[in-house]
Structure 1
């Protein structure tokens, strides 16, 4: 069976293009016939890609990820793309490689055999990584030094190696690594874990106490000295090193590796430890917080943006933990959770809880227009945001 097809060469990618259609001019025609293997070929994907993404695909640096109950995404080493089927009004014929054909004047007498007809293509759209699942998995089994690791490891319950995460999380490898860092996750015995708050609080507190006892400068803590001292006190060297990485910056000099503890990281950890038992009157909290902060550091409420909320009840002001890390990462779910917490938000309170949302092609102003209603009686008044 043969037919004529009109070919419009307007920059489309023809994967596996056969010689029979190479070099055709606009509005030319060529005979076609059905290949012996003609059929639906449901395992074939026709992708619409731009020039930036094409090299990644041709060099096999992409992976399609997703469980049976999830919409598939395509991941490069650094980015995530949603996959959306788009039907086309024109028929797209897929021609397998290796068709023999003549050149020049003989071309018109040679039929191009088609292996299938595509009714559409997969459109790839740059998307935000889906990381809520990563947070959920790691928070289900936080690490503490008293756990029976051998028992957990034997049954592999709630523990995940790097390859497990890559296969389960719909995000690129770079995005997964960045998320692990933001969650302060650490690899212990081959498994990625989040260290429980009590262990981290205890470890940091002991480092600060030792700095007073041994006259260590918290701006220049010698790694070897800290590790040997803490191990002698019964602490795990891996957790001590992780505590330094989480709360400090590495500085190298001729004598070895030094760590400078960060003011914001340390003050935030101490503040959350104080609030772990529940909400407090703001005045009482500030007194305790300032007393706990090591010499040379200054506590400032701005350090707690996105981690706590202040509520005025009567004449008293109270403070409580409300961390952005515990909120969903998708915009719709994030705003839903925020408006469940408060019906109305002032911008100074709302901004810390949405600044980490990055949606390709949508600005912060666009997010606010899509998910909130803005109320501002006059130009001088602070805007108030409620659910749309």
Structure 2
């Protein structure tokens, strides 16, 4: 048997003691750390008062400290002076100890802070900046430092909140302003006889300045939400643009209830005859994303409105963004809106909850917070439980 090396163990001097934390990585993060080809980007985010999260380039993870029954000692080779012709002792120093392990779990990005940061940053036209120079404006770097979300999730959150980069600052675009710009875009496409799938970028930006007095950086930022923008061309995604106008009109239902036919007529009027064929109510049930250049993906989205239930004939504005972020509170709001739901109608409003993108998690939430019943015709309904636990 080979002789094992003998080690001398000693405590480090008090001034040399260090603090360590052990982190247990999930498989997808471990593969990133161990990969020789991927770019490692892991950042802990949060204010001092926040529960810290760990962010990769695409995912947010919650951190949870779990106490272990036996403490771990951290040892390192000691720095010893070796005299001429002699080998120093094989000595290890205890430089720290660990009494808990940090577990890492996928979490929903905490984008709600965006609302507060962007409040007061609304862009309502170029001239208004002269009177608003004393208002606080945030850069992307400042927002990224306090919003607990990965780079990709924050980018998606800014896009969902209609936030633009203007003059090095982040500026939110109010719904009324966005609707005006989108209608102006459609008008210019028709007036200039431009093919939506092949729009010359410089010519179009010039047209928006000349026809509507809208700055180039604002228009360039907006059209990037609705298609693929290169240095020379904009390949417009007309379905997502027309859909955005429809979503803007939905907000009017809060104060001005209307039937589906009335809503569709108003929507057609807003987009004009040239693009009326793009309109379908199904557009408001799906979300169109353009993450990969020149490819459009359709994915089921969180809901924005409720179909009328007899005897009512009016559409109901019911945006997922206004619902609580915790499961119990969200189910309470859903059952206040309707006493019973079909599972396929409720599912769009469950996404955005922790794990809500997974059907397994959504099914578990339904079982926990709702009661299942079956009608005589076999239809399955979900209604509220007596108490939420």
Superimposed CA distance per residue, residues 243-281 of structure 1 (whole angstroms, 9 cap, x where no aligned partner): 3223344488xxx41433422431441453365253223
Q: CA RMSD in A?
A: 3.7
Query: What does residue 36 of structure 1 align with?
Result: 13
Query: In the aligned structure 2, how far is the partner of 1:238 from the partner of 1:379?
Result: 56
Q: What count of residue pairs does the alignment treat as equivalent?
A: 352
Structure 1 match to 2:291: none
**In structure 1, how many angstroms separate the alpha carbons of the residues matched to 2:147 and 2:269?**
42
Deviation at 1:101, TM superposition (A): 12
* 1:241 alignment partner in structure 2: 220
8 Å CA contact retained: 2:372, 2:380: no
Paired position in structure 1 for 2:262: 284
Contact map agreement 1:132 1:329 (CA 8 A) in 2:
no
1:97, distance to aligned residue in structure 2 (A): 4.2
Q: How does 1:12-27 map onto structure 2 within 5 Å? A: none
Q: Which residue of structure 1 aligns with residue 157 of structure 2? A: 179
For residues 262-310 of structure 1, the C-alpha deviation after alignment (integer angstroms, 9 at most, x for no partner) is 2243144145336525322333223333344433524222222222223
Tell me if the contact between 1:40 and 1:117 (Cα under 8 Å) persists in the aligned partners: no
State the SS of the aligned residue for 1:142: coil
What is the match of residue 9 of structure 1?
A: none
- Structure 1 unaligned residues grouped into runs of 5+: 1-22, 103-108
Which residue matches 2:112?
Answer: 132
Distance in 2 between the 1:66 and 1:24 partners? 50
CA change 1:366–1:70 in 2 (3 A) is same
Sort the Cα spacing of 1:135 and 1:373 in 2 relative to 1 into closer, same or farther, 3 A.
Answer: farther
The Cα shift of 1:188 comes to 1.0
- Report the structure number with the largest CA radius of gyration: 1
Residue of structure 2 aligned with 1:354, choices 347, 350, 357: 350
| Residue number in structure 2 paired with 1:307 | 304
> What residue number does 1:48 align with?
24
1:17 aligns with: none
Structure-2 change in CA distance of 1:145 and 1:242 (3 Å): same
Normalised by the size of structure 2, how large is the TM-score? 0.75
Are 2:338 and 1:342 equivalent residues in the alignment?
yes
- Using the size of structure 1 for normalisation, the TM-score is 0.75
Q: Tell me what 1:12 maps to.
A: none
Q: How does 1:221-300 map to 2 (within 5 A)?
A: 221-232=199-210, 233-250=212-229, 256-270=232-246, 272-273=248-249, 275-276=251-252, 277-294=255-272, 295-296=274-275, 297-300=277-280
Q: Write the distance in 1 (CA, Å) between the matches of 2:58 and 2:372.
A: 35
User: CA–CA distance in 2 between the matches of 1:234 and 1:269?
Assistant: 20
Higher mean displacement: 374-383 or 70-79: 374-383
The Cα of 1:160 is off from its aligned counterpart by 1.8
Q: Which runs of 5+ in 2 are unaligned?
A: 83-88, 286-302
Matched, 1:196 2:192: no
Q: 1:260 to 1:83 in 2, by over 3 A?
A: closer
SS, match of residue 317 in structure 1 = coil
Matched, 1:95 2:75: yes
Contact 1:249–1:259 (Cα < 8 Å) also in 2: yes
Report matched runs for 1:76-87 at 5 Å.
76-87=56-67
Q: Distance in 2 between matches of 1:274 and 1:64?
A: 38
What is the CA-CA distance between 1:313 and the residue it aligns to?
Answer: 5.9
- 2:45–2:53 contact (8 Å) kept in structure 1: yes
